Amino acid sequence: MQPVPFIPWLWRDPSWAGEPKPDLADRPDSGLIGYDVEATDGGIGKIDEDNAKVPHDCLMVDTGPWIFGNKVVLPVGTVRHVDHEERKVHVDRTKEQIKNAPPYDANDHDGYRERTGEYYSESYRLMPPML
């Protein structure tokens, strides 16, 4: 039996997000701005206010000082769960895996998206998510 392939652009547990809406202001992730983002080995930053500049199947994270204040984009498929009480988004990748992801390039949307999809798909092939 073949394992189910990882699809980086889909929420793995979409029940909390509701139905997708075409209006950017009604994106299911718009309420996550300012939430802390936790990798498997600690905090990596916060969901950035520029989140609306990336497609709805991504989260823009301001990493703060741990990788010199860069912004990274995570596919929503990396989200393990969202804790609204603690205002935290838990992802199932390590800080190092996120740091080594392709840099976000707003001028090369298609190329960036392809590189990111390949990077995270390979990441999940090598290290499946812990359930």
What is the model's pTM?
0.75
Number of domains in the chain: 1
pLDDT computed for residue 107 by the predictor:
85
Residue 70: CATH number of its domain: 2.30.30.240
Q: How far apart are CA 1 and CA 55, in angstroms?
A: 33
CB neighbour class for 1 (10 Å; exposed up to 12, middle 13-18, buried from 19): exposed
In a domain, 27, yes or no: yes
In a domain, 127, yes or no: no
In a domain, 8, yes or no: no
In a domain, 19, yes or no: yes
Neighbouring CB atoms inside 10 A of 105's CB total 13
In a domain, 54, yes or no: yes
Q: What is the pLDDT of residues 40-86, one digit of tens each?
A: 999 999 998 887 777 788 888 888 765 556 788 888 889 988 998 99
Taking every pair of C-alpha atoms in the chain, what is the biggest distance, in angstroms? 44
Q: Provide the domain limits for residue 40.
A: 14-122
Mean pLDDT over each residue of the chain, to the nearest integer: 77
Amino acid at 70: N
In a domain, 44, yes or no: yes
What does the pLDDT average to over 110-115? 83
Give residues with Cβ within 8 angstroms of 120, minimum separation 6. 6, 8, 75, 77, 78, 93, 101
Alpha carbon separation from 128 to 120, 121, 122, 131 (Å, rounded): 11, 10, 10, 9
